[in-house]
């Protein structure tokens, strides 16, 4: 069993096999709404721009199980949305990433790499824990996806190498990505 055994529908409704990504380094990430303030989209796009020629692909899975926002980013109200989330990497159809209804890919990823806690040094860690306790206390239990922008790094052979919580900004993944490229 590997990530290449899964298929998913793109945001244009086409069924895509992840086997198409064999030989690439992948970031698989559950993403938030295309409306509002979401810096991690921008940072993921920056990683993509920097490393796509060396073999990095990013696969975004939009999900609204977490209140449609990036943690701690709702201070600024914006009244617009971005086409294709403002990114050029592959976006898949909106769906669930945790619980019974989760996409099988995310069930697999969260079994492969367990939850090891948030990076408490990150400014959003405290806010995120607070928000989870207040709204989704059950999400704190177990290894399921905790919030938007949980990132899984996959090597060129399809092994799930590392899990990064929402408290790791994409730019801080660069060292780990470079090791695999």
| Residues making contact with other proteins (CB under 8 A) | 34-35, 78-84, 86
- CB-based contacts of 84, cutoff 8 Å, min separation 6: 11, 34, 91
Q: Minimum distance between the CB of residue 130 and other proteins, rounded to whole angstroms? A: 25
Q: Minimum distance between the CB of residue 25 and other proteins, rounded to whole angstroms? A: 27
Nearest residue (CB) to other proteins, 81 versus 171: 81
Nearest residue (CB) to other proteins, 39 versus 86: 86
- CB-based contacts of 150, cutoff 8 Å, min separation 6: 29, 30, 97, 163, 164, 165, 166
Q: In 10 A of CB 23, how many CB atoms?
A: 9
Q: Minimum distance between the CB of residue 97 and other proteins, rounded to whole angstroms? A: 18
In the numeric block, which tokens belong to residue 75? 């201070």
Q: Annotated catalytic residue: which of 35, 37, 45, 113?
A: 35
63 counts as catalytic:
no
- The residues annotated as belonging to the active site are 35
């Amino acid at each position: 069993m590997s990530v290449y055994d899964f298929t998913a529908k793109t945001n244009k409704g086409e069924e895509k096999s992840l086997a198409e990504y064999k030989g690439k380094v992948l970031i698989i990430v559950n993403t938030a709404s295309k409306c509002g303030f979401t810096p991690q989209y921008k940072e993921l796009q920056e990683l993509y721009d920097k490393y796509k020629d060396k073999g990095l692909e990013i696969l975004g899975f939009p999900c609204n199980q977490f209140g449609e926002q990036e943690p701690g980013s709702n201070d600024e109200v914006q009244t617009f949305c971005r086409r294709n989330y403002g990114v050029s990497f592959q976006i898949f159809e909106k769906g669930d990433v945790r619980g019974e209804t989760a996409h099988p890919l995310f069930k697999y990823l969260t079994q492969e790499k367990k939850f090891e806690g948030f990076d408490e040094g990150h400014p959003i860690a405290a806010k995120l824990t607070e928000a989870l306790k207040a709204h989704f206390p059950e999400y704190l239990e177990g290894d399921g996806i905790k919030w938007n922008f949980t990132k899984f790094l996959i090597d060129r052979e399809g092994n799930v190498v590392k899990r990064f919580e929402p408290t790791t900004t994409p730019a801080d993944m660069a060292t780990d990505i470079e090791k695999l490229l």
